[in-house]
Structure 1
Amino acid sequence: MSMRMSWRLASRLSVITLAVLVVIIVTVIQQKQSSHSQPVSNTTASTSGLQGTDLGGTPAPNFQLTDQYGKTVSLSQFRGKPVVVTFLYTHCPDVCPLTAENLHASLQKLGGDAKNVAILAVSTDPKRDTTAEALKFSTAHNMQDYWHFLTGTQKELSPIWSSYSIYAQQQQQKVNHSTALYVIDKQGKERVYMGDDFKPAQMAANLQQLLKEK
């Protein structure tokens, strides 16, 4: 009888041990996956006091594209101004229009300081985002004179997406792409990352702080 009980006890203990090991393994895998995923939180403050995920002040990769007016625009030409770089497409039915509206609201909160910041919206849809479509989208969201909606060919855009860890893949009439806003300081350094759920007050506060920096 005691041998039978011991066998049952050992069996139950082995099952419990296996279950604990499974939980530990799953937890480790999830932690590794989260450590390699793109930061999405924008509600926390970085060590500098900026709201968003701290990017450590690494130099922002430069790029050059064509804006909604057909002008050649590069990131480096805005040295001396805080810059927001985001990634959108003109036929987007949901997130991109909201991002544009929230950026417009952010600039309104800045008042006269809005002219001292730059916003660059990089296309994620090279096939359909023409100069004309970029201007149409910009006008629809009152951003035609407040940002540069930058378009280009697949060959021109792909390296930029890669350098900013952006995924962009067209699927039928939609483009699945990463949503990201990189806030860059006057020295051209990446300061914080903000997700598409940012609040205009958060963005305005970040830009106001960067405007005060030398």
Structure 2
Amino acid sequence: MNWRLASRLSVITLAIVVVIVVALIQHQRTNVPAQSGGATTSTTSTLQLQGTDLGGTPAPGFQLTDQYGKTVSLAQFHGKPLVVTFLYTHCPDVCPLTAEHLHTALLQMGSDASKVGILAVSTDPKGDTTQAALQFSTEHNMQNSWHFLTGTQQELSPIWSKYSINAQSFKQSINHTTALYLIDKQGRERVYMGDDFQPAQMAANLKQLLQEK
């Protein structure tokens, strides 16, 4: 091969490489998400619920008495997203914080807050009277935003068991499992959230469940 042919081949090879590089650059540019104000917008239309996936199994039903002495059942919330949590009224730390976070989540939801339900099931049959439930609810601005459900040991124990809640009295406090179950409009358990949840996470989950049929 003489030097002229070698030179021509080198030029052709270089031209091919340039074409390939330009094509790659253009491809990358067309696949970069549009940005506005420095924030990347997602093209994903389906969001994921935040928390531990529960697989959509039917939520165990129950019926108890709320802070106003009214009988409330889980079944009556069919057609609404629902939060089921487990608290006691004289809890010194986690339960009040859970109540405050739920209140904040409802505020963040705006008008959609009235379209969801929240049930707080007592873990203290002896200490959680109807009066105590109303006082606790009022202190945390939840008196008209949830149902704080109380009952006897015989009424509450089967519910704790069905929702994998361990509740034991220890001196002046109750050691119990902290849990928030998100149930969809069809009465199916969708997500479990721990007591470290943030109001924005809860609000986002509930809004997504509202959008589902």
Q: TM-score, normalised to structure 1's length?
A: 0.78
**Secondary structure, aligned partner of 1:166:** coil
**Secondary structure, aligned partner of 2:141:** coil
**Secondary structure, aligned partner of 2:144:** coil
Q: Provide the C-alpha distance between the structure 2 equivalents of 1:89 and 1:163, rounded to a whole number of angstroms.
A: 18
CA shift, 1:93, in A, is 0.2
CA shift, 1:48, in A, is 6.5
What corresponds to 1:32 in structure 2?
Answer: none
Deviation above 4 Å: which 4+ runs of structure 1? none
Deviations 1:25-70 (A, max 9, x none): xxxxxxxxxxxxxxxxxxxxxx971000000000000000000000
Deviations 1:63-115 (A, max 9, x none): 00000000000000000000000000001000000000000000001100000
Deviations 1:99-149 (A, max 9, x none): 000000000011000000000000000001000000000000000000000
Q: Provide the C-alpha distance between the structure 2 equivalents of 1:212 and 1:178, rounded to a whole number of angstroms.
A: 30
Q: Provide the C-alpha distance between the structure 2 equivalents of 1:64 and 1:48, rounded to a whole number of angstroms.
A: 33
Q: Provide the C-alpha distance between the structure 1 equivalents of 2:170 and 2:79, rounded to a whole number of angstroms.
A: 39
Deviations 1:140-198 (A, max 9, x none): 00000000000000000000000000000001100000000000000000000000000
What corresponds to 2:54 in structure 1?
Answer: 55
What corresponds to 1:115 in structure 2?
Answer: 114
User: Structure 1 unaligned runs (5+)?
Assistant: 1-46
What corresponds to 2:69 in structure 1?
Answer: 70
Q: Provide the C-alpha distance between the structure 1 equivalents of 2:129 and 2:194, rounded to a whole number of angstroms.
A: 26
What corresponds to 2:95 in structure 1?
Answer: 96
What corresponds to 1:142 in structure 2?
Answer: 141
Q: Provide the C-alpha distance between the structure 1 equivalents of 2:94 and 2:151, rounded to a whole number of angstroms.
A: 21
Letter in 2 for 1:81: K
| Higher radius of gyration, 1 or 2 | 2
Aligned residue runs from structure 1 range 36-55, under 5 A:
49-55=48-54
Letter in 2 for 1:184: I
Aligned-residue sequence identity (percent) comes to 78
What corresponds to 1:171 in structure 2?
Answer: 170
